[in-house]
Chains A and B, each alone.
Chain A
């Protein structure tokens, strides 16, 4: 495995295919795109199998210095990046298939945009040079921007504009912060920066600058309002990739940059993250409850889920961070699936109005089954991917603060309410409307998209070890890096005072990670 340039190849295949798509004509472009994304997926799986769990932190490193002026072509991944890359390459072919019939104009350009998007996504997760990362990170805007702006719905221009304006604001600040970091540390190498100790007062404003950018990407309340519009206007596959991968760039930024690079600032300012996350869980869940547009509803639910991610990350412990990562992976699969579920019926009836549907269980039983599965995964039913992530992250959050955990857990009630209410209005009820009656059940192409998504959602729920194992070491590293700055949780468990008659003479040992709580109080 050593030396084989997996990462460059993962970037090169879609890049070449993207150019090819522009020239081979609309019909062939689809096949080129599908072929390229499938090859990339296969390649990423091979890379996963070659990934040495518990081995070196950074693997598959490639480096050619000074390739583009001041910064290096430096690639390399750890377990966190590996999983997000595999998520991207997994969703890509499904997105191409989802667009197979829905996109009719300028297909070559569309496919090229999606392939460009894949390059950018993999680049973000694989970059080991700060500026290379920045280029990929911001370049991600461009294809998404065109996808919404050209193939979007009626109000696409407003949505594209809003998307742009929000992201621009944050990215300027982040760029300035990056320049300052490079000036301070004298390197653009991400692994080096991750262990560089920035002065504490400098950390604070660097943290805030990064936060401005990443909070928008996440998106966190109150800079989330671009997301519902972008989703509503984007074509189905655009929403799938936006919810599936683009939102994860924000979370990745938190765990890769903000937390290890500015640990003291993260600890000091964690209250901001907690406060915004708590607001987001309740606020956006309630907003989701009253939506009449399917895509908007799922978009708002994404904001609520991402709030669990941010809160989980800032719990600063193994469960919180691993849980947040699993929520990201799970949400990547499940929300993509839910947006596809919307797309399936949108393609048939061309409306996103929930009330136009009803009774689909009668004429689309297979669809109803898949939709039910993804609904359950979204509301975190144990046995599905959603549960493992939510459970671990809130377990971690609880160690940090029972208040935050309590508020985040109310999300499970509200989440059940808005998702089941959505499902009921679309799938259950009497099948009365003639145009709805005429809708056929899933075709083989749609089966081919639904089935893998469902399989992964279940796999991640029943045997998440496959996904936890690669990231374990890296999360431990982050936790260790944060440990000196980590504040004590609010639990302060005191030792037990069992009655003399009891067989155990002394208080039970409090778990290792929390021992200081027990000792420190009373």
Chain B
């Protein structure tokens, strides 16, 4: 069964990708979407069997892969609790995104390619989460990277999309450098790349030391840190995050599937999968906590200033991933996985909702040109509101709330209970929760409330004009006149544009995910993060579930439980005050704190910094090596110099050009062989 779940998407991708001419676009879409819904239907029973405690961990070997000396690994599919969680997340979101794309990509001429890439991505992601050895995990890791590259650059005619695609791949490769060195080191230390074997042996290596790049380091610390660098790349953590906002160049369903719900959580999954290993390296866990908290804070601050609706959600994703990491860092792996699980639903919902807004607003993504959309696209509005309630963590402590309430509060409570670095993470997380609430509600208010501000949007102008062109194709001039007239006459900011609610293929996923955003929290909180039930749920998955910590997290003081709710309310109030009650406030604030705003709006200048530090030098050094190294040093003193020396420059140059020299050279070679043979006969 697990074979079907994993390989159906691959099969579908091949059929749709390679056979698109034979079977046509409709069949391509049907095959891929059908395969994904089948995978999804097969995944839920597996997950539920683990929830009800009847599931058994198993490993299915598919094919031998490599054996070289002691280094051996196979293509294997591992199913346990941790995998099962990921299976339902991946297949559910992917199936819904496939369906959504029927509507969203309706007018694209390249649909079979799009659907093939989506299915290929799903396959790679499934290989990643079912890996039983580090190398297969790396296969999935790189496979999702490839699919992400292809999908970000799906509209390959756009230079910005191409640049973003390459950036995503190359920045991820920086992380992969760490991941690969981590695998090599793990193999060196443990003599195997099999995950269960490593996790079994890891405690025995605590306190061991190793030399790495000339430094004497704690073995487990350096191994975990190297692997974590890989996780930082894939999960866009501070320092290696720069690719994620740019990845929004891809079609919105891609952002929902890859850059929100699944691929970017691979790093969190990796840390949880290897949690017994990380448990032996407290310093590494400290770094994980710190990086997670820093990212959580950084991304939230940037998110408050962006205008592009997708970029706000992208930074929000980055920030939420930070929560998951610091949860893992303080040892609350169950909470990290729980947030991963709920986040997948509400963040996919927010992205698909944003896609629906973009769809209805004729590809306009700038929130400055939205406003008042509540009445025009009510289902999208409600879906996004539920998503926002989920991400901001609305709920009553001790009773129930939206999905994010259970998982985010679980993380914050665990961080508080863990103490030490966890306390710092707790306060950073609280502050980030305030910002989360602010930027999430800001997005909702700017988009759905207030008066329409559509008339300044070029996309909308185009749409209106095109519309009129369609009406009066013969009389272009008149249409233009008409549009201007129209524009003036309305005076309500709509430019005469009428947004329409998205088609039903797009609304169904929104509705299904809304249910997830509402219910995923309270339905599944018990198995994921409650001490006793959690221990049972995670048993057999090798997750280092800390029962004591989760107990302690439950027993935190009441004010700790209520703080997230309080800051959420403050954030909501600030957003409401700035974007509904007193809309001039943000402008005045920006004027007052110009430098701060510039700093945040320009994403802390990471891109500029990297450009100066890495990109430009790489090209400059490359040019230097080529011109100064190869041409002016090696060639000049090597072959060219030798030629000059041997035959006298000009004469040789003339002959070179006339082609004699190479005749000579050949004769010389033959002579050499002859001489050698002669020498041989006499010598021996």
A contact residues vs B (CB 8 Å cutoff):
69-71, 131, 134-135, 138-139, 141-142, 145, 149, 157-158, 160-162, 164-166, 168, 171-172, 175, 179, 182-183, 222-223, 225-226, 228, 283, 286-291, 317-319, 322-323, 359, 361, 376, 381-383, 387-388, 391-392, 394-395, 398-399, 402-403, 405-406, 409-410, 412-414, 416-417, 420-421, 424, 427-431, 462-465, 468, 472, 489-499, 502-504, 506-514, 521-522
Closest partner residue, chain A, to B215 (CB atom): A402
With a cutoff of 8 Å between Cβ atoms, the chain B residues found around residue A409 in the complex are: 177, 180-181
Contact yes or no, A412 B173, CB < 8 A: yes
Contact, CB under 8 Å: B683 / A183: yes
* Most central of B153, B159, B174, B188 by chain A CB within 10 Å: B188
Contact A69 B677 (CB under 8 A): yes
- Chain B residues numbered 256-315 whose CB sits less than 8 Å from any CB in chain A: none
Which residues of A sit under 8 angstroms from B23, Cβ to Cβ?
Answer: none
B162, A428: Cβ atoms closer than 8 Å: yes
Contacting pair A496 B219 (CB below 8 A): yes
Asked whether A226 lies within 8 Å of B639 as measured between CB atoms, the reply is: yes
**Residues of chain B contacted by A497 (CB below 8 angstroms):** 206-208
**Nearest CB in chain A: distance from B204 CB, A:** 4
Instruction: Assess A392 versus B188: contact at CB under 8 Å? Given A290-B623, A406-B181, A504-B204.
Output: no
Kindly specify which of B34-42, B326-334, B352-360, B655-663 makes contact with the partner chain: B655-663
Q: Are B205 and A70 in contact (CB under 8 A)?
A: no
The contact sample of 23 A-B pairs, CB cut-off 8 A, is: A157-B656, A157-B661, A161-B639, A161-B665, A165-B639, A179-B679, A225-B635, A225-B638, A287-B622, A318-B70, A387-B142, A395-B187, A406-B181, A412-B177, A416-B173, A424-B165, A430-B157, A462-B63, A491-B212, A496-B208, A502-B204, A507-B205, A513-B70
Q: In the complex, what residue of chain B is closest to A317 when comparing beta carbons?
A: B69
* Contact (Cβ within 8 A) A513 B213: no
A139–B666 alpha-carbon span in the complex (Å): 11
B166 at the interface (CB under 8 A from A): yes
Q: A394 to B131, alpha carbons, bound, how many Å?
A: 21
Determine if B431 is an interface residue (Cβ-Cβ < 8 Å).
no
Cα distance A98–B136 when bound, in Å? 36
Would you call B67 an interface residue if the criterion is a C-beta within 8 Å of the partner chain's C-beta atoms?
Answer: yes
| Cβ contact within 8 Å between A289 and B619 | yes
Cβ–Cβ < 8 Å partners of B680 in chain A:
69-71, 131, 179
- Known contacts A157-B662, A491-B212; is A162 also within 8 Å of B180 by CB? no
- Given A402-B213, A496-B205, A502-B203, A395:B166 Cβ within 8 A: no
Interface residue tally of chain B, by bracket? 35 or more
Complexed CA–CA distance, A323 and B177 (Å): 18
Q: Provide the bound-state CA to CA distance between A310 and B362, in Å.
A: 56
User: Which of B68, B149, B209, B666 is most buried by chain A, counting CB atoms within 10 A of its CB?
Assistant: B68
Q: Among the listed B219, B619, B669, which residue makes an inter-chain contact with A142, where contact means beta carbons less than 8 Å apart?
A: B669
Please determine whether B622 and A413 come into contact, CB atoms closer than 8 angstroms: no
Interface 1/0 per residue, B105-147 and A, CB below 8 Å: 0000000000000000000000000000001001101110010
Task: Check A165/B643 contact, CB under 8 A, given A409-B181, A428-B156, A465-B66.
Answer: yes
Does B15 belong to the interface (CB within 8 Å)?
A: no
Given contacts A287-B625, A428-B156, contact A498 B180 (CB under 8 A): no
- Complex CA gap A172/B669 in Å reads 10
Q: Are B630 and A512 in contact (CB under 8 A)?
A: no
List B contacts of A510 (CB < 8 A). 189, 191
**Distance, CA A430 to CA B680, complexed state (A):** 63
A395 touching B71, Cβ below 8 Å: yes
Q: What is the minimal beta-carbon distance from B668 to any residue of chain A, in angstroms?
A: 7
| Known pairs A412-B176, A497-B208; A399 contacts B64 (CB<8 A) | no
Q: Does residue B59 face the partner (Cβ distance < 8 Å to A)?
A: no
Question: Within the complex, what minimum Cβ distance (angstroms) separates A317 from chain B?
Answer: 7
A469 to chain B, nearest CB (A): 9
Chain A residues whose C-beta falls within 8 Å of the C-beta of B396 in the assembled complex: none
Q: Check B190–A413 contact: CB distance below 8 A.
A: no
What is the CA–CA distance of A323 and B184 in the complex, to the nearest angstrom?
Answer: 13
CB under 8 Å from chain A, chain B span 609-641: 618-619, 621-623, 625-626, 629-630, 634-635, 638-639
In the bound complex, residues from chain A placing their C-beta under 8 Å from that of B662 are 145, 149, 157, 160-161, 164
Residues of chain A within 8 A (CB-CB) of B622 are 286-290
**Known interface pairs A493-B208, A494-B208, A512-B191. Does A157 touch B659 (Cβ–Cβ under 8 Å)?**
yes
Tell me the interface secondary structure of chain B in the complex: helix
What residues on A are CB-neighbors of B206 within 8 Å?
Answer: 496-499, 502
Residues from chain A with a CB closer than 8 A to the CB of B65 are: 462-465
Query: Roughly how many angstroms separate A406 CA and B666 CA in the complex, as a whole number?
Result: 43
Q: Is the CB of A413 within 8 A of B170?
A: yes
- The answer to whether A322 touches B68 (Cβ under 8 A) is yes
- Kindly identify which residue among A157, A162, A463 contacts B64, using a CB–CB cutoff of 8 Å: A463
Min CB distance A115 to B, Å, is 19
Quick one: which of B191-242 are within 8 Å of A by CB?
A: 191-192, 201, 203-214, 219
16 further A-B pairs in the complex, CB-CB below 8 A; given A318-B71, A494-B210, A498-B206: A71-B680, A134-B676, A139-B673, A157-B661, A161-B643, A165-B643, A225-B635, A319-B68, A392-B66, A392-B68, A402-B181, A405-B184, A409-B177, A416-B173, A424-B153, A496-B204
**Smallest distance from the beta carbon of B217 to chain A beta carbons, Å?**
10
A contact residues around B673 at 8 Å (CB): 135, 138-139
Q: Closest residue of chain A to B668, judged by CB?
A: A168
Taking a contact as CB atoms closer than 8 A, the residue among A171, A172, A398, A511 that contacts B185 in the complex is: A398
Set of chain A residues within 8 Å of B184, measured between Cβ atoms: 394-395, 398, 405
Q: Which B residue sits closest to A390, measured CB to CB?
A: B180
In the assembled complex, B672 has its CB within 8 A of some CB on chain A: yes
Give Cα A259–Cα B68 distance, bound, in whole angstroms: 19
Whether B629 contacts A283 by the Cβ 8 Å rule is yes
Chain A residues in 8 Å Cβ range of B684:
70, 182-183
Contacts of A228 in B (CB 8 A): 630
- Bound form: Cα–Cα A184–B403 in Å: 80
CB–CB B162/A424 < 8 A = yes
Q: A145-B662, A429-B162, A496-B207 are in contact. Are A225 and B188 (CB under 8 A)?
A: no
CA distance A179 to B183 in the complex (A): 45
User: A134, A142, A413, A522: which contacts B173 (Cβ < 8 A)?
Assistant: A413
Cα distance A71–B680 in the bound complex, in angstroms: 9
A412 to B169, CA, bound (A): 11
Whether the pair A424, B71 counts as a contact (CB closer than 8 A) is no
Evaluate contact between A164 and B669: CB separation under 8 angstroms: yes
- The answer to whether A495 touches B173 (Cβ under 8 A) is no
> Whole-angstrom distance from the CB of B460 to the nearest CB of chain A?
25
Complex Cα distance A381/B66, Å? 15
Contacts of B203 in A (CB 8 A): 496, 498, 502-504
Known interface pairs A182-B684, A508-B204. Does A381 touch B142 (Cβ–Cβ under 8 Å)? yes
Q: Tell me how far the C-beta of A133 lies from the nearest C-beta in chain B, rounded to whole angstroms.
A: 13
A502: B residues at CB distance < 8 A? 203-204, 206
Q: Are B138 and A382 in contact (CB under 8 A)?
A: yes
B618: chain A residues at CB < 8 Å are 286, 289, 414, 417
Given A359-B157, A420-B166, A495-B208: A164 and B188 within 8 A (CB)?
A: no
Nearest-Cβ distance from residue A12 to partner chain B, whole angstroms: 21
A-side contacts of B181, CB under 8 Å = 398, 402, 405-406, 409
Q: Give the distance in Å from the alpha carbon of A506 to the alpha carbon of B201 in the complex.
A: 11
Which residues of A sit under 8 angstroms from B634, Cβ to Cβ? 222-223, 225
Interface centre among B146, B192, B214, B657 (most CB of A within 10 A): B146
Task: Given the known inter-chain contacts A175-B676, A394-B180, A412-B176, please indicate yes or no for A493 contacting B210, CB distance below 8 A.
Answer: yes
Pairwise interchain contact B69-A318, C-beta atoms closer than 8 A: yes
Please, how many angstroms separate the alpha-carbon atoms of A511 and B193 in the complex? 12
A396 → chain B closest CB, angstroms: 8
The interface centre, meaning the residue of B209, B622, B630, B635 with most chain A CB atoms within 10 A of its CB, is: B622
B397 within 8 A of A: no
Which residues of chain B are near A427, meaning CB under 8 Å?
156
Q: Is B591 an interface residue (CB 8 A)?
A: no
B642 within 8 A of A: yes
Across chains A and B, which 7 residue pairs bring their CB atoms closest together, nearest first?
A511-B191, A318-B69, A497-B207, A286-B622, A382-B139, A508-B204, A398-B184
